[in-house]
């Protein structure tokens, strides 16, 4: 999906998620390309607070995105 579609999909996902999901998982827009997505997530995990939805665009070479969720690191909380 393109970035605009991914942003809408993320918004809908967050609206439909319960508090437990929101507290335990990151929900982010990433490049659809697996290698680009892996690099984005690796960098995101180093400093999640410094990333916003637009940050993923710097990692994407083809304009295709997806919305993914993955467990937050709760060891530091």
User: pLDDT (tens digit, 9 = 90+) per residue, 33-48?
Assistant: 999 999 999 999 999 9
Residue 30 belongs to some domain of the structure: yes
Query: Residue range 11-25: average pLDDT?
Result: 94
Q: DSSP E strands: which ranges in the chain?
A: 25-31, 65-71
Domain span including residue 62: 3-71
Res. 60: pLDDT tops 70: yes
Residue 76 belongs to some domain of the structure: no
Res. 77: pLDDT tops 50: no
Please tell me the pTM assigned to this model.
0.89
Count of domains observed in the chain = 1
Task: Give the chain's mean pLDDT.
Answer: 94
- Cα 14 from Cα 10, distance rounded (Å): 6
Cβ(64)–Cβ(32) under 8 Å? Answer: yes
> What does the block give as tokens for 1?
């999906």
The strand pairing partners of 66, in sequence order, are 30
- The more confident residue out of 77 and 23 is 23
- Cα 70 from Cα 75, distance rounded (Å): 15
């Amino acid at each position: 999906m393109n970035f605009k579609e991914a942003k809408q999909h993320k918004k809908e996902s967050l609206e439909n998620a319960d508090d437990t999901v929101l507290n335990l998982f990151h929900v982010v827009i990433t490049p659809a390309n697996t290698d680009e997505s892996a690099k984005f997530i690796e960098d995101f995990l180093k400093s999640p607070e410094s990333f916003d939805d637009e940050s993923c665009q710097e990692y994407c070479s083809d304009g295709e995105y997806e919305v993914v969720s993955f467990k937050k690191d709760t060891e530091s909380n």
